[in-house]
Structure 1
Amino acid sequence: MPHLLLIPLIIAALAVFAAPRPSLAQAETPVSQCQMIARSLPSVTFASFSSASALQVQGRASEEVRITYIGHSTFFIETPAGVKIATDYNGWYKPPALPTVVTMNKAHSSHYTMNPEPGIRYVLHGWDDDSDKGADHDVVVDDTYVRNVPTDIRGWGGAMEPKGNSIFIFEVAGLCIGHLGHLHHELTEKQYAEIGRLDVLMVPVDGGLTMGAESMSRVVQRLRSALILPMHRRGPPISQFLSMFGKGFDAVTDDDATITVSARSLPKRPTIHILAGV
């Protein structure tokens, strides 16, 4: 019967998906556990991942990540394996130790430096002057997977420059940590899909130089991260940003610049956590 001819094809297809996945050392691009779509199969949405196909650097839910707000748009992330990451690194806001990885964005000089300290192993620009497709990072550093989603930026003259900013995403210890960089526009459906789930969100709240508080709040509400860390806080009082959220969000003001977080300790309700600093 005709349908019997499909059996060998079905068996072959199942064998492909059941076959052991290559190790991280062999794989060209790691598989993100935070994305809603598969990068290599854009028409397929995975309901779950097997231990063989999932990215192994994610670690255990009990592992903790330390996040310190250094200032402006710079956070210092310390992973269980000792990887040290500084976001929007400009060389002015000094983290307490030399970073292993630094990420940068192009919009203003307060978000990058062309002269990072020697000894930083990975310097990841959020833009690519040689490609109209923007930066494309897929980097595994010990227990951490770093990737990016390009966005556009607004130039000094007001015109939009394609792919001049990146949202950097750090997958570690079962957490998906996202830094919006110098975001100048609301995200597209494609960008939301490329970002996927974000448990921790670092969001600029200045209300002008990046994006207005109302537009930024829509992005935050759409991402609905458990832990929201405001940054880029110069400008209107942060209360203007907080006023955009209803009863579905909690707000906490901290006297400390550092927070320790794990997948198990994430707030049950979306919480805007204001760390000490400017």
Structure 2
Amino acid sequence: MRYLACAALFAGFAFAPAPATAQMVPSTCHAVAEAVPRATFVSMAGPTRLAQINEEVTITYVTHATYRIESPGGVVVATDFAGYAGETTPDIVTMNKAHGSHNTPFPDPAIAHVLRGWNPEGGAARHALTVDDIYVRNVPTDIRSYDGMEPDGNSIFIFEVAGLCIGHLGHLHHRLTDSDFAQIGRLDIVMVPVDGGLTMSQEGIGEITERLRSSIVLPMHRFSGPIERFLARLPDFAVDMRDEPGFTVSVRTLPRTPTVIVLRGV
């Protein structure tokens, strides 16, 4: 609780934006779990910019597993980018390896930062990118392949912006370990695949979502299955069905009860 209180206190201060960099910086969302099993405490260390708590982030559902995140400073991110993110050219795109609907081999040259969730040269991909008021990092995960599980074939991406911790689970294929949860840390908002087959089972993704206990859960990667199957796995979460594809949110406006927001098009 001491860590949480201090993190909330520091969130009220603002610092000058930082230029783009690939150097690791301290995370406001990162877990510290060495002493207490399964615990997730927020570190008091912060990145180069901690936002005012009333600064708003805009999140828009685009298609399949692509969400567009727009920072207060105007930085645009597209998740699991397969070539389309709406009318705006993103500044940063993240990709995952599983299928062509999660990546493109020919991203627009105008996109300044293309972050692949796998390392084409082998081993785990490692990203720690700061562009103005947003910090992007990743947690590698494994992926199913013809030969079994491929280590480090995909990534969970975490976006730290305006005092919020936003996670995109990508094309997740397995349950997460305590070490994975520790690397992820606190997620105020999490984007989860809910297809129930090509990624994870409804039971498995429900367990992960319950443990993360994010204030906002954003389903994605849904095919023809009814969304109610996923919602049934989270009986303690509120449900907010929206007619709009996007919304704005700040630290101040996060719901007090964990809420699944189903945006138009999902």
Same fold (TM over 0.5): yes
Give the drift of 1:61: 1.0
How many angstroms apart in 1 are the aligned matches of 2:74 and 2:147? 41
Aligned residue in 2 for 1:67: 59
Q: Show the 5 A alignment for 1:56-205.
A: 56-91=48-83, 93-132=84-123, 134-155=124-145, 157=146, 159-205=148-194
Equivalent-residue separation in structure 2 for 1:47 and 1:223 (angstroms): 13
Structure 1 CA distance, aligned partners of 2:260 and 2:48? 29
CA radius of gyration, larger in: 1
Asked if 2 retains the 8 angstrom alpha-carbon contact of 1:24 and 1:30, the reply is no
1:230-269 CA distance string (max 9 Å, x none): 00011321111011112x2101110000110101100101
Aligned to 2:259: 271
Give me the whole-angstrom Cα distance separating, in 2, the residues matched to 1:90 and 1:28: 26
**Aligned residues of 2:134 and 2:160 also touching (Cα < 8 A):** yes
TM-score w.r.t. structure 1 length? 0.84
Aligned counterparts of 2:139 and 2:250: Cα–Cα separation in 1: 24
Find the counterpart in structure 1 of residue 210 from structure 2. Answer: 221
Give the Cα–Cα distance (whole angstroms) in 2 for the partners of residues 140 and 229 of structure 1: 24
Contact 1:177 1:200 in 2 (8 A): yes
Is the 2:30–2:42 contact (alpha carbons within 8 Å) kept by the matching residues of 1?
A: no
1:47/1:213 Cα in 2 relative to 1: closer, same or farther (>3 Å)? closer
Instruction: Name the structure where helix makes up a greater proportion of residues.
Output: 1
Once residues 87 and 256 of structure 2 are traced to their aligned partners in structure 1, the CA distance between those partners, rounded to angstroms, is 31
How far apart in 2 are the matches of 1:106 and 1:33?
Answer: 28
The superposition leaves residues 112-135 of structure 1 with CA deviations (integer Å, 9 ceiling, x where unpaired) of: 001001210100000002232x11
2:101 counterpart SS class: helix
- Cα distance in 1 for partners of 2:98, 2:174 equals 13
**Contact 2:28–2:46 under 8 Å retained in 1:** yes
- Residue 48 of structure 1, CA deviation: 5.2
Residue equivalent to 1:13: none
TM-score (normalised: structure 2): 0.87
In structure 2, what residue type is equivalent to 1:127? W
CA distance 1:225–1:158, change in 2 (3 Å): farther
Given that 2:96 and 2:155 are in contact with CA atoms closer than 8 Å, whether structure 1 keeps it comes out as yes
Q: Distance in 1 between matches of 2:262 and 2:119?
A: 32
Which of 239, 254, 267 matches 2:242? 254
Tell me, which stretches of 5 or more residues in structure 1 are unaligned? 1-22
RMSD: 2.2
Instruction: Give the Å deviation of 1:24.
Output: 6.2
Structure 2 residue identity aligned to 1:185 = H
CA distance in 2, matches of 1:47, 1:177: 14
Deviation at 1:46, TM superposition (A): 7.5
- Are 1:58 and 1:144, in contact at CA under 8 Å, matched by a contact in 2? no
Where in structure 1 do 4 or more consecutive aligned residues deviate above 3 Å?
23-28, 42-48
Find the residue that maps to 2:159 and give its secondary structure: strand
Residue 30 of structure 2 is matched in structure 1 by 35
Does the 8 A contact of 2:32 with 2:42 survive in 1? no
Amino acid aligned to 2:101: S
2: CA distance, partners of 1:125 / 1:163:
11
Tell me if structure 2 keeps the 8 A contact 1:207–1:235.
no
